[in-house]
Amino acid sequence: MKREELLGIRYKKSENFSEWFSEVVEKCGLADIRYPVQGFIVHRPWSFFVIRKIIQAFEEELEKRGHEVALFPLVIPEENLVKEEEHTGFKPQVFFITEAGERKLSRRLALRPTSETAIYPMFSLWIQSYTDLPLKIYQSVTVYRYEHVTRPFIRGREFIFIEAHDAFREHEDALKQIREDMEISREVITNKLAIPFIYFKRPHWDKFKGAEDTYAADTIMPDGRSLQIASTHDLGQRFSKAFDIKFVDRNGEWKYVWQTCYGPGVWRIFAALVSIHGDDKGLIYPFEFSPIQVVIIPIFYSEDEKEKVLRKCSNIARKLKEFRVKIDDSEKTPGEKFNHWEMLGVPFRLEIGINEVDGNFVTVFRRDNFSKIKVEDDKLVESILALSKEMLENLRRRAEEVFRSMISEAHSKEELLKLMNEKRGFIRVNFCNEEECARKLKEETNGLEVKGTLADKVEEPSGKCVWCGKKAKAVVYLAKSY
């Protein structure tokens, strides 16, 4: 075992989250940032298995709700980007291909920063009649943006993304899809991954450039900064008019479709999973998503004990065949093994020594709360299933308690400035909802941003704007962001 691994995670999450996160990424084998192109990382098995599971969870929910999977080309003609430039604003971040072999290309090809420009020209060919609607397509891909500042799983130049693009006859159908997108986010992010968040309706100056409205899911990282982990957009008819996506209705009249697009940020969801549930020992993975769900540690002090203990370990592994199980029969000491698998966040550790052999039980250790219980051999499968549900609920409850503690309220500028320095997370305030006031607030507070109003609840403002003193027009939430 390497010396740095023996030292474990040196930084405390509550004291220096940035260094804690960097250590976890490196020591838990989540990514290797030494790839010789800045901003591009190697996804190592202990992260990519989980990321793939997250993708699968979203894909299942999308398909349950009528989406079909597709795959569109990575390269996009520059003229498509130009046609859409007024709607997206991604062009300054685009990577372009200009040569193929030794030949200069006659036109530049972009690596997709997102896929509207790849998908919507095809929609204009596929959609001709009202019978072609609704059209609901998704793809799970990597996208490319030239970000100036990068951080593994939080901001990169190549990152993993799911995008769903839908077209409808009526605007009400599109709005219904927006609500459905929010339900998908809650089902996967909160119900399965135990990550709390709030869906905000972004202010008009911070919405996706091509959208009528943008709705974004923001969670709070341990340092108090907000992290956007999903978004869904009401595109109205902006893109259908730009790309001539029309259909003939029942009356024979040509009409433009109404569109939405939905993007769960898989990378950032994984970053939130690592950060919110992890502790000073390392990762804590939910049972369903962990690469190894149960690790079996044999403990023996003689050759006679070794034979009996290893035999039982093999029998128990076969008994747990429906789970992802590993027997750690390496030459490390039991203590080293305990520390290693705790750092990697494996949900359950089974300790098997001669007492467990003679007593027909195993000792089960839970990574989330460090508890140990004795479970009879023939009740082990049902116990693991029950404990995994308890663990998920405990992670959810614990995360939500921290999340709620990071939401505060300010009724004056003085109170806002005081809270900003004393507390972390969201600050709920009455606001004038003017872009210029939001800009000044951000400048004068070194980054405090208007995240928006609640997407699923109307909160009536009262009194004056907390910053400029004008009449309040909305209740908004402020935070510093990644």
Is residue 46 within 8 Å of 29, Cβ to Cβ? yes
Q: How confident is the model at residue 87 (pLDDT cuts 50, 70, 90)?
A: low
Phi-psi map region of 282: left, alpha, beta (phi>0 left; psi -120 to 50 alpha): left
pLDDT range class, residue 3, cuts 50, 70, 90 = very low
State pLDDT tens for residues 327-343: 999 999 999 999 999 99
Tokens 């004795």 locate to 374
CATH 1.25.10.10 fits 3-277, yes or no: no
Spans of all domains in the chain = 3-277, 287-394, 407-479
For the segment 238-267, what is each residue's pLDDT rounded down to a tens digit?
Answer: 999 999 999 999 999 999 999 999 999 999
The fold adopted by the segment(s) 287-394 is Rossmann fold (3.40.50)
How many degrees, rounded to 5, is the angle at CA 391 between CA 1 and CA 221?
75
Alpha-carbon distance of 403 to 399, in angstroms, equals 6
- Contact call for residues 141 and 115 (beta carbons, < 8 A): yes
Which among 122, 39, 134, 135 is positioned nearest to 73, based on CA atoms? 122
Q: How high is the pLDDT of residue 79?
A: 87
- 3-277 and 407-479, same CATH topology: no
pLDDT score recorded for residue 1: 40
Token digits for 37? 């192109």
Residue 6 in this model has a pLDDT that exceeds 80: no
Taking residue 446's Cβ as centre, other Cβ atoms within 10 Å add up to: 8
Q: Given a cut of 50, is residue 4 above it in pLDDT?
A: no
pLDDT of 216 > 70? The answer is yes
pLDDT at 284 over 70: yes
Q: Taking all residues of the chain, what is their mean pLDDT, rounded to a whole number?
A: 95
What pLDDT, on the 0 to 100 scale, is given for residue 421? Answer: 87
Q: Which fold has domain 407-479?
A: Translation Initiation Factor IF3 (3.30.110)
The reported pLDDT for the residue numbered 80 is 86
For position 453, what pLDDT does the model report? 98
pLDDT digits (tens, 9 = 90+) for 437-461: 999 999 999 999 999 999 999 999 9
Query: What percent of the chain has a predicted confidence (pLDDT) above 90?
Result: 94
Q: Where residue 26 falls among pLDDT bands split at 50, 70, 90? A: very high
Dihedral sign, CA of 412, 415, 421, 425? negative
156-167 confidence digits (pLDDT tens):
999 999 999 999
What pLDDT, on the 0 to 100 scale, is given for residue 209? 87
Which helix (DSSP H) or strand (DSSP E) does residue 393 occupy? helix 380-405
User: Using one digit for the tens of pLDDT, what is the confidence trace for 363-380?
Assistant: 999 999 999 999 999 999
Q: Model confidence over 383-409: pLDDT tens digits?
A: 999 999 999 999 999 999 999 999 999
CA–CA separation, 81 and 110 (whole Å) = 8
Is 0.75 topped by the overall pTM? Answer: yes
pLDDT band at 345 (very low <50, low <70, confident <90, very high): very high
pLDDT at 57 over 50: yes
